[in-house]
Structure 1
């Protein structure tokens, strides 16, 4: 049986042409997939987006800018208030541009979530059961 960590945060979504909008971010971690954190963003009972984030990158983003692809993270500090700025680039739009959203999360809450995941699977101790995965693939074929 695998163990899970889950945390729900209220975050601030900023998108093109809009101001800030509070949405729920459901962060989850499954020790069976030890490198990933799933982030599901919801508003009014609807799922707006679901992203699988690299746990190490999420942790690093609390202290410095990281990411050059579809996900970019960086810390933002305003006085005593510390946030994690998460920028997401999505699918192509009909006009040739890409969907783009920026989410601001309270950094101490993200850090607390990550500490829980690190208690479950410490950094550097992640393992993927490759032999079991290959056996499953070969038995299905």
Structure 2
């Protein structure tokens, strides 16, 4: 079985008080880092942002509001349309404010991606190989 899963979605981005615009979200999962999902948001061939998300948080965000820090997820229903709303907060600016971006993804597409990664590493079966990481650090000395 493939230990790497990738899915590209068209999502809606709203940042800096602008209207929504369509961008690509490249979601990837690598079983070697079993707790994380990488999301790269791109427009016109340019990467706009890259975030590492907790896969359990991503799954929970389809059903309830989660997150209190720089990443917050929650389900949103508009009629029959179900979205996963992802809010990302940037670094604190000198004026004390923060950049904020909201990404809306079609929830069934995110759920399908999660099903694919759960086939690779089922929830609760993740392994953290601390010995391997420590050996690699010590070998590069």
Which bin holds the TM-score, normalised by the shorter protein?
over 0.9
Matched, 1:26 2:26: yes
Task: Give the aligned length.
Answer: 141
Aligned counterparts, 1:55-134, within 5 A: 55-134=55-134
| Cα root mean square deviation, aligned | 1.4
TM-score, length basis structure 2: 0.96
Q: Unpaired segments of 5 or more residues in structure 1? A: none
**Deviation at residue 11 of structure 1 after TM alignment:** 0.3
Report Cα offsets for 1:101-140 as digits up to 9, x if no partner: 0000000000000000000000000002111111111222
**Deviation at residue 94 of structure 1 after TM alignment:** 4.2
State the partner residue of 1:15.
Answer: 15
**Deviation at residue 23 of structure 1 after TM alignment:** 0.3
Q: Unpaired segments of 5 or more residues in structure 2? A: none
Which whole-Å CA distance do the structure 2 matches of 1:118 and 1:34 have between them? 10
Runs of 4 or more, structure 1, over 4 Å off, are none
SS of aligned partner of 1:27: strand
Distance 1:94 1:43, change over 3 A: farther
Aligned counterparts, 1:32-47, within 5 A: 32-47=32-47
